[in-house]
Every structure is written in C-alpha cells, then in structure tokens.
Structure 1
Amino acid sequence: MWHDIFALPVSVAEKVVRTLLVYILILALFRLTGKRGLASLNAFDFVVIFLLSNVVQNAVIGNDTSFTGGAIGAVTLVAVNSVLNRWLAVDKRAAHIIEGTPTTVIEDGKAVPSAMRRLGLRPDELSDAVRKQTGTEISSVSHSRLEPDGRLIVVLRYEETNANRADIVTLERHLAKIEGLLHSRHDRDEKEG
C-alpha cells in the first residue's frame, strides 16, 4: 500500500516539464482570450475553469496517481507562479507582453463598441459594473478602462464627482462667514430699530 502512495511511475523531471508545459498553455490561452469581465466571472467562465482543470489533469500527472506525483505537480505550479509574479513585478516589458495593456471601454459617457466587441463584454455587464462602483450611469463617466487583471477604473465627469473633505471644510468656512454677516446685520438692525 505505502509503495503505491509514494512510488513514481514517471520521472520527477518529466513531471516538472509536463506541469510547466500545461501552465504555459493555460497562461497563453487566457492571454489570447483577453481580460475577462470586470473582475467577475459568469456561469460560463466557471464551467470553463472546472472543465479545463479536468481536461489538463492527465497532461500534468500522466498515468501517475501517487501522492508524490501530485505533490511534485502542485509544488511546481506554485513555484512557477510565484517566480512569474515576482518577475512581472520588476519587469514592466514582460508584464506588458504577458498580461497585456488596459483597454478604454468608456469615453466621454459612451461605451466604446469596438472595445466591447473585442473584450466580449455586453453593455449590461458594463453598466452594472459602473453602477456598482460609482452608483451612477455610464453617461456620468468621463472615461473608463479595463485593466488586464479585470479591474474597471472609472473616472467620473467633473460635475459628477462627489465632494471630498477639503470641499466640505471650504463650504463650512463660507457658511460661517455668511452666518457671521447675517448676525452682525441682525444686531445692527436691532440697534437701529
């Protein structure tokens, strides 16, 4: 029994190479299909992910059902992913090639149809993402871009932006001045009257 759990029917090198090749293939497939939908997955995306893991399982482990083989595959995946993430953090050119670039999806309050088609985004998905992020409609957006990691960056039109703390402090100062003027006028009117 113990022998079957830990015995490797294929070499460690073959196991590592298989895992690397599958990792590169999946990375390339996701890169070619583009950024996906506003940092959220729909039901179709989940189906693809679940089936994809099953489809490539044998390519990673071969005929190996041992614990050792699974451990080698898992360690290889985690190690390669960690090295790749560190490399992308320091090499902007590699990040540009592997991850891609942001895509403008809204310009001057209107969705960009060519970008929407290229990304496979439906107008209702974009509207929903803008509403969730800003509480407003697409028409309130100056411009917006979809990052390679699926985040939607939204810049509202100036007239649609909310007040910040500095705006409130300035308004409070103006109101205090007006209140002071009204009090002084009221006091003057009472003395004269």
Structure 2
Amino acid sequence: MLFSGWDSLLHTLVVGVTAYVVLIVFLRISGKRTLSKMNAFDLVVTVALGSTLATVLLAKEVALAEGVLAFALLIGLQFAVTWSSVRVRWVRRLATGEPKMLLYDGKLLPAALMTSRVTEDELRAAIRSAGVDSLNSVRAVVLETDGSFSVVKSSEKENGSSLVGVDGPRHFPGSSDC
C-alpha cells in the first residue's frame, strides 16, 4: 500500500514532531552523560530510545502519552544507574565494566588479548594510530570500557600513573588483580 490517507500522514507528522521534541527535551534535562561516548550500557539505552521513537511514530496503537512515559522511564533508569555508578563501585563495574590492560612495558598480554577478544593486529593498529612505531616505546595499551584503545607512551618521569585502577598485570603498582 502506498498511501493510506491524509489522516495517517497527519498523525505521523504530529506525533513525530511532538515525540522528537519531547525526546530532545528529556535528553537535555538528563544531562550530557546520557549521550556520552558509549559503552555497552549506553548503547542499549540509545537503541531502546530509538526503537521507542520509531514505535511511537509508526504504531497507531501506541499513544503519544505512552511513548513519552517510555522515554521518561528509559532516561530515568539510565540516570539512576549512572548516578549510582558514580557512587557505588559494584554498580559501575556491573554497568560499564572495567578497562583491561592488553600490553604492558612493550610486552603483549596474550591472556588479556584472548579474554577481550582483541587480535594482535588490532592492538598494533591502535599503537600506530597513536603515532608510535615501536612496542618498546609503549608503557601500556588499555581497552577502555567504551571499546576504544588508550595507548600510554613510556616516559622517564613517573609522577603518578593514569593506569591506576586498570585490570592488568599483578606486578603493576595500583592495578587490579587479573
């Protein structure tokens, strides 16, 4: 069917614009964290919001008020989890995971690569992207909770490490147990 009538088009237009505006307002109210660089938890919320918007737009049996409530529910739950994760470590670990060290002092960590499902080629590509040509010039490569790689170059000065709290080798000061 190509055209079901003007009422259907008008309904889609009115509900679409209204739902879109409500979603934008809710996202602005909820803060920047709602649309931050995504980890798996954020991705699920984002996909759920998009799915809800599509359902509200196209399913006539779903009222706009139900869609607005669904937006509020998803954003509210996301806010509650992120608020809790800032304050409670186990909630943070449950929602976002922890960063994982894949290379330390120029040496690959094969077990960490395997459990993180990262190939040596992907790791080397991340190192090249950081402008480093030698593994020996790298203090560490960390797989972050959002799936990106952080390459920490070696330095002569050790005034405090950005690697504290990263799941890595047991001999690394400040690292979590593997």
Query: When the two structures are superposed, what TM-score results if normalisation uses the length of structure 2?
Result: 0.49
Higher relative contact order (CA 8 A, sep 6+): 1
Structure number, greater radius of gyration: 1
Query: When the two structures are superposed, what TM-score results if normalisation uses the length of structure 1?
Result: 0.45
Higher helix share: 1
